[in-house]
A and B are shown apart, each in its own frame.
Chain A
Amino acid sequence: MSTFAELLLNGISMGSVYALIALGFVVIFRATEVVNFAHASLLLAGGYVTATLHEDIGFWPALLVGIAGAAVVGAAVDLLVMRRYRGSDHSVLAIVTIGVDILLTTELTRRIGTDVLALGDPWGDAVLTLGPISLAHTRIAAFVAAGLLITVFLLAFRYTSWGVAMRAAAESAETAALMGVRLGRVSLGAWAVAGGLAAVAALFLTVFPTPGLERATSLAALKAFPAAILGGLDSTTGALVGGLLVGVTESLATGYQSELTFLGRGLGDLAPYLVMTVILLIRPAGLFGTKELARV
């Protein structure tokens, strides 16, 4: 039972990190209707900046610079690349983001090489023991930080003018333009926010028990993709639920792998995609994705 509780808590913690990444997907999708395949490289960029700076300026400043850096990279992608294709078909734009991802990831992996970079986080490998359950401090920090950021984000999305502009643009870009919404700003903001969230996620994907930032970190980020899709690509609630679902599934599948040996190894990596497939078979728009709500 205690194993189960441990796995569950770890899963929730990882899930909240996936939710951060998935939220980035959703924000960009809602603002621009583009599926952003370059998200993993934004994450890698944020992590890389933090990793290279933390020894010189300390962890917290480095993290802030990393967040800002990823936000700037995101904004730059929108400004320098996506804007030139504005008006093109959304699937064309999605393919453009694949190109951006390849470029960014290639450059970053060249810089990282075969190293495993530490991000210099203050939690180290400390473990909190509560009765039979032990939990790494990093996992608690991940949950708290992700929860906090997501709350702030959702409140802003719901109540600020930025949020109203974003939702209006998501529903109909042309009508939003008629209201005086600056669409360029909306999409720039979305890319920057997504980048910033990804940088925070990068931190928690690379802390203990993971060895550190390496080339493969961007692969871990891809697990947030099924999270965003199974939640419904245009739903912020969906991103949260999807993230948690993927985190818990992955954690449980990995934890109980020894009892599921007939399925072979590596079930933990596969499980999120299985869940996604099953959910999409039942609900093609995802758990919270929009089905047309309209009175005719």
Chain B
Amino acid sequence: MHNVDLNQLASLINKNIPGANAVVNVAPDAKLDSSINIEASHITKTAQWLRSNTELPFNALQAITGIDWMESMEVCYIFANFDVNASRELILKVRLTDRVDPKVDSIMKVYPAADWQEREVYDMFGIKFNNHKDLRRILCPDDWQGWPLRKDYVAAKYYNGIEIYPEAKMNFEDRDFIVRQAMIKKAQETKAQ
């Protein structure tokens, strides 16, 4: 996937941005993708360097993702270079240990594409981006409670006083069928004993 030597790139990042502490995550299998981990506090400087350097430039930001690993959060940036002769991609990761109130610097001044991508990560994971000029929910309604894509998210029962999935409107036939099958099975087992 990458078309880029990650070890070389990591050492370049370490050389140009002191303290970034870039480490290559080598995938255990060749068919999987490797990535680079850096310190969360250096993300803006790294993004700036990635876009403006002449050795291995990345001219576009493809996506920003959050991942909830239960004990910590991770923000995952995908950069790409749209160049016929030097097409390359990079997965850059930042680990946030504070799961209650995770924060990371915004890179929307470097890549304007990050504006909406960061809003989506905030909407889904509650990760706050410092210096983002317009950080509000983008896909969920503004008054939505909770962070839907976190692993410990419990689906809401009410929204603005409206019941979600009211029992009167639910189709219980499928569920009853499974329950009935289980009861029949149990009865047969007791009979056999």
A binds B: no
Partner-A contacts on B (CB < 8 A): none
Partner-B contacts on A (CB < 8 A): none
